[in-house]
Structure 1
């Protein structure tokens, strides 16, 4: 019996690092899940251990290439955005993989906005709220003025998905999906890099932009392998849905963030929408796509840990729960709010929150968890409505981690009765989307 021909995909999230082999029908035939502990950067702030991550990627692929039952013919990468890897002339990293939650110096940010037309005008041009390090292009400005000894060594700054491709192809490139991920790099009104990059002489470290479908042919384990250029994970998650649906839809891609993506809405952003974390991504063909973001994965993680500690339960308990209408009605009927969010800001949507979390008012974990998800899904609906309005969309897909949370999904169905909500077979949407990008038949939308 011959070897199974497969496509290898790395799907690198903030929390989970995943590797898959898909057969020619995009059916998963092999997987590896991995987590890494953060290290600290030179300022003492937590960051991804880039060297360890790089070694894991190389070793995982090397092992997969040695598996006798599989023949890897294609390779691609999906990874989170807002993160840059800085390389010197020899291709070695010269800085940590700075965490996009790292504080950006307020005085430096104010200086930047003064130089480039003011905060409001700049955010409107780049179709992104002011997000500090999450506007990853500004990391280069920060390095130039606060860490010139590092900046002076940089030959190429690669977005994270393209860094993984570079490890195997040696090609320093960029793609639209990474550039368009709230980076403060792209002027959407001019459909080009923003002029601040040229004025600061930073454009020179940003490599050539290629199509997201671009591939390279290299040799691995004595046979040719087609290698993709990598793709931003939220954009990758969209691809299987675009291929399989003829009618308009919205996708909520969930994980650390819930990204509500409406590929059929490219309307201009209002200042109010920018404040509510609504922005534009760039699709793989260079088109603007309206999206909204909510930090629900990290919020859920923190809150659930507090609930486990309070009720003396083991991690993972909530995953055993199924939807209970009575518990939901009880949560809905309570007149006030009982949770204070760690990260989310309900006030941006004119929604209130408790001044402090009131765990003592709950009889058990279930009651508290239903209340938390009720208040969380109110925010999710408000965020979703930012990309829903003005478009004729009646279908919503949920993929990623919250796909499997029946309580979360049923609460959304109750709160959005006019929308057909589906949890889908694309639970591995980002990985499968990346696989489709290197499919020999190509992608045309």
Structure 2
């Protein structure tokens, strides 16, 4: 027999990944795949669901035959806000609609006229109005815009649970997928929101189970424990929750920078939409207060503009370290100079100006302004929770100025960075494992580094 491993399919919007982990959660194998998008029935870009399903089964079938590995369990992590709708025969009746697909404002207004007002609804469900990104709105849209299609639906599965269904044939719902800004869950009642029952949506939503649930099956002649799938953000948070005993915040940085607080109590604030606050859910059904900020998207745009303006190579920003003298000079008579393109609701000049003589100084100015905004989102997520630890993972852990400014402005918090390239895949493997994680797990598996800030006067 080969090495005992847990398999994980980690399905992102762009990259589809497959991992094998040993009993110590060390990666021993990985494969990547990309699929070209297809068009849905309205001509909008959509996931190529048939190609994805075929890849899942063919790759797993091939790995099962390997003498090198003995697969004992498999689980699935995936992006949320996406449904696969199945008919009586268990076949998809619609494309896998893209959560960026726009909804008619008239439909949204109709929904809130029945079940609003919007501000109260957003607080209760942890889901500010985000169109199709609130996946429950997709059900409402199908019912009223495509009623003939809606009538064919036997079950609607969130994508992580559909991935599991491909292997088990058992339709299930799961807390972390229901709880990720879907507008389906009432965090005060700890049940589906009233509108779900009034519209009859509960009839097509399968029974709810925990993300720790697994199904023991004979698959292709092999006894395997099959997980029910987990939402990727909740999966990425799980190793931290399982191994850190004291309250903490996790700042997951990339295109979106998401501040996650798994220790928040109570509902979201009244101004949830304005502060970027939403809810995710832990595997035990408890809320995660999160605050989203379009950091990476704005950063990439502004760095490209700065590189053109100062005529430097596009990678120059990666070589710049924090300079106390430059920082002190900028903040002496500080004025914002950047006009944001992607940061909605952020106050900024009407037009970007370039008063600085060098790219290095202008880049420091950019980071100062971005971190000023980022701090608000961290504090919105923190709320009144007594938290003294901040973990940062993702792309901005390689940005020394970002880290230096964060630690400077948050002196009461201990800042740690982690190398979390496995992210949600590792969380999915842990979710169906009986292994208890100790306090040293992150240090062994995530290369945790303490950040000691410079003294800035």
Please give the TM-score of this superposition, normalised by the length of structure 1: 0.88
Alignment counterpart, residue 412 of structure 2, candidates 400, 413, 418:
418
The answer for the alignment partner of 2:230 in structure 1 is 231
Deviates more, 1:169-178 or 1:119-128: 119-128
The answer for the alignment partner of 1:39 in structure 2 is 38
Relative to structure 1, the CA distance from residue 328 to residue 11 in structure 2 (aligned partners, 3 Å threshold; closer, same or farther) is: farther
The answer for the alignment partner of 1:217 in structure 2 is 216
The answer for the alignment partner of 2:166 in structure 1 is 167
Unaligned regions of 5+ residues in structure 2, if any? 439-457
- Contact 1:15–1:256 (8 Å) recurs in 2: no
Deviates more, 1:181-190 or 1:8-17: 8-17
Relative to structure 1, the CA distance from residue 441 to residue 45 in structure 2 (aligned partners, 3 Å threshold; closer, same or farther) is: same
Equivalent residues in 2 for 1:249-328, closer than 5 Å = 249-304=248-303, 318-319=317-318, 322-325=321-324
- Tell me how far 1:334 sits from its aligned partner: 7.2
2:179 counterpart of 1:180: yes
- Tell me how far 1:176 sits from its aligned partner: 0.7
The answer for the alignment partner of 1:408 in structure 2 is 402
In the alignment, the residues of structure 2 paired with residue 4 and residue 166 of structure 1 have an alpha-carbon distance, to the nearest angstrom, of 26
2:206 counterpart of 1:207: yes
- Contact 1:5–1:24 (8 Å) recurs in 2: yes
Alignment counterpart, residue 355 of structure 1, candidates 331, 347, 350:
350
- Contact 1:177–1:212 (8 Å) recurs in 2: yes
- Contact 2:177–2:231 (8 Å) recurs in 1: yes
Deviates more, 1:235-244 or 1:45-54: 45-54
2:369 counterpart of 1:375: yes
- Contact 2:101–2:132 (8 Å) recurs in 1: yes
Relative to structure 1, the CA distance from residue 87 to residue 400 in structure 2 (aligned partners, 3 Å threshold; closer, same or farther) is: farther
In the alignment, the residues of structure 1 paired with residue 427 and residue 371 of structure 2 have an alpha-carbon distance, to the nearest angstrom, of 27
In the alignment, the residues of structure 2 paired with residue 403 and residue 295 of structure 1 have an alpha-carbon distance, to the nearest angstrom, of 16
- Tell me how far 1:148 sits from its aligned partner: 2.0
In the alignment, the residues of structure 2 paired with residue 320 and residue 188 of structure 1 have an alpha-carbon distance, to the nearest angstrom, of 45
In the alignment, the residues of structure 2 paired with residue 15 and residue 300 of structure 1 have an alpha-carbon distance, to the nearest angstrom, of 20
Deviates more, 1:409-418 or 1:330-339: 330-339
In the alignment, the residues of structure 2 paired with residue 305 and residue 38 of structure 1 have an alpha-carbon distance, to the nearest angstrom, of 27
- Tell me how far 1:198 sits from its aligned partner: 1.8
| Aligned-partner SS, 2:8 | strand
Equivalenced residue count is: 438
Unaligned regions of 5+ residues in structure 1, if any? none
The answer for the alignment partner of 1:55 in structure 2 is 54
Relative to structure 1, the CA distance from residue 74 to residue 184 in structure 2 (aligned partners, 3 Å threshold; closer, same or farther) is: same
The answer for the alignment partner of 1:115 in structure 2 is 114
The answer for the alignment partner of 1:393 in structure 2 is 387
- Contact 1:403–1:427 (8 Å) recurs in 2: no
- Tell me how far 1:439 sits from its aligned partner: 0.9
- Tell me how far 1:309 sits from its aligned partner: 6.4
In the alignment, the residues of structure 2 paired with residue 94 and residue 102 of structure 1 have an alpha-carbon distance, to the nearest angstrom, of 18
- Tell me how far 1:386 sits from its aligned partner: 0.8
| Aligned-partner SS, 1:271 | coil
State the structure with more CA Rg: 2
In the alignment, the residues of structure 2 paired with residue 5 and residue 168 of structure 1 have an alpha-carbon distance, to the nearest angstrom, of 20
The answer for the alignment partner of 1:196 in structure 2 is 195
In the alignment, the residues of structure 1 paired with residue 316 and residue 146 of structure 2 have an alpha-carbon distance, to the nearest angstrom, of 45
Relative to structure 1, the CA distance from residue 63 to residue 402 in structure 2 (aligned partners, 3 Å threshold; closer, same or farther) is: farther
Relative to structure 1, the CA distance from residue 369 to residue 103 in structure 2 (aligned partners, 3 Å threshold; closer, same or farther) is: farther
| Aligned-partner SS, 1:140 | helix
- Contact 1:400–1:428 (8 Å) recurs in 2: no
Q: How big is each residue's C-alpha offset from its partner over 1:55-85, in whole Å with a ceiling of 9 and x where there is no partner?
A: 3333443343344322221111111111112
- Contact 1:165–1:228 (8 Å) recurs in 2: yes
Relative to structure 1, the CA distance from residue 316 to residue 279 in structure 2 (aligned partners, 3 Å threshold; closer, same or farther) is: same
Relative to structure 1, the CA distance from residue 20 to residue 216 in structure 2 (aligned partners, 3 Å threshold; closer, same or farther) is: same
- Contact 2:181–2:278 (8 Å) recurs in 1: yes
In the alignment, the residues of structure 2 paired with residue 59 and residue 307 of structure 1 have an alpha-carbon distance, to the nearest angstrom, of 46
In the alignment, the residues of structure 1 paired with residue 362 and residue 59 of structure 2 have an alpha-carbon distance, to the nearest angstrom, of 40
| Aligned-partner SS, 1:399 | strand
Relative to structure 1, the CA distance from residue 327 to residue 301 in structure 2 (aligned partners, 3 Å threshold; closer, same or farther) is: same
Please give the TM-score of this superposition, normalised by the length of structure 2: 0.86
In the alignment, the residues of structure 1 paired with residue 205 and residue 124 of structure 2 have an alpha-carbon distance, to the nearest angstrom, of 20
The answer for the alignment partner of 2:449 in structure 1 is none
Relative to structure 1, the CA distance from residue 285 to residue 367 in structure 2 (aligned partners, 3 Å threshold; closer, same or farther) is: same
- Contact 1:136–1:183 (8 Å) recurs in 2: yes
Deviates more, 1:73-82 or 1:27-36: 27-36
The answer for the alignment partner of 2:344 in structure 1 is 345
In the alignment, the residues of structure 2 paired with residue 36 and residue 325 of structure 1 have an alpha-carbon distance, to the nearest angstrom, of 46
